[in-house]
Amino acid sequence: MAEFDKRGTFTLNKNDRKTEDWHADWRGTLIDEDGNEFYLDAKLRQGSNGEFLSGKVKRKGDMTPRKPAASQIHDSDPF
């Protein structure tokens, strides 16, 4: 049996590890056309037209710090 080409697909599953209200209601993965993998986090929300999902996409393996390290901040930067 040939393996299914998963490029261009995603999965979302109910988050059974949710312990806090701010945790995602749904979690999953996405594989883009180039084969790059991403994490998906989605929350069920209420809008004027009913319920909808909104969320975030984060590249798997992306460990980029949210704030620059002190060694990366330069006094000569204009901002």
Cβ(31)–Cβ(10) below 8 Å: yes
Determine the average pLDDT of the residues in 50-77: 76
Query: Would you state the pLDDT for residue 3?
Result: 83
Distance (Å, rounded) from C-alpha 3 to C-alpha 52?
A: 33
The residue with greater pLDDT, 12 or 68, is 12
Distance CA 38, CA 21 (A): 23
Distance CA 31, CA 59 (A): 10
Task: Tell me the whole-structure pTM to 2 decimals.
Answer: 0.68
End-to-end CA distance of the chain: 58
Does the pLDDT of residue 24 top 70, yes or no? yes
Q: Domain map of the chain by residue range?
A: 9-62
pLDDT at 53: 95
